[in-house]
Amino acid sequence: MGKRMDTNKNIVFIGMPGCGKSSIGKIVAERLKLPFYDVDEYIEKKAGKTIKEIFQHGEEHFRRIESEAIREISQNRPSVISTGGGAVKVPLNMKILRENSVIFFINRPIEKILQDIDISVRPLLAGDASKIYELYQERYPLYKKYCDIEVMNDREFQDVVNKIIRFLGKMLYDGLE
Ligand SMILES: Nc1ncnc2c1ncn2[C@@H]1O[C@H](COP(=O)(O)OP(=O)(O)OP(=O)(O)O)[C@@H](O)[C@H]1O
Ligand SMILES: O=C(O)C1=C[C@@H](O)[C@@H](O)[C@H](O)C1
Ligand SMILES: [Mg+2]
Per-residue model confidence as pLDDT tens digits over 13-52: 999 999 999 999 999 999 999 999 999 999 999 999 999 8
Which helix (H) or strand (E) is 90 found in, with range?
none
Q: Is 85 in the pocket of ligand 1 (CB under 6 A)?
A: yes
Gap between the Cα atoms of 103 and 136, Å rounded: 18
Question: In this structure, which residues have their CB less than 5 angstroms from ion ligand 3?
Answer: 22
Give the Å distance between the CA of 12 and the centre of ligand 3: 12
Predicted model pTM:
0.95
* Closest Cα to atom 12 of ligand 1: 116
pLDDT of residue 8: 86
Gap between the Cα atoms of 82 and 64, Å rounded: 17
| Average per-residue pLDDT for the chain | 92
Q: What is the ipTM of this complex?
A: 0.98
- 24 contacts 153 by C-beta, under 8 angstroms: yes
pLDDT of residue 3: 56
- 175 contacts 1 by C-beta, under 8 angstroms: yes
CB neighbours of residue 34 within 10 Å: 17
Which helix (H) or strand (E) is 42 found in, with range?
helix 39-47
pLDDT of residue 122: 78
Q: What is the number of the ligand 2 atom nearest to the C-alpha of 43?
A: 9
Query: Could you tell me the maximum CA-CA distance found in the chain, to the nearest angstrom?
Result: 50
Q: Is 25 in the pocket of ligand 1 (CB under 6 A)?
A: no
pLDDT of residue 125: 77
List the CATH code of the domain at 12-162.
3.40.50.300
pLDDT of residue 60: 97
Low-confidence ranges of the chain (pLDDT < 50): 1
Counts for the chain of helices (H) and strands (E), in that order? 8, 5
Residue 91, classified by CB atoms within 10 Å of its CB into exposed (0-12), middle (13-18) or buried (19+), is: exposed
Domain ranges, ordered by start, for the chain: 12-162
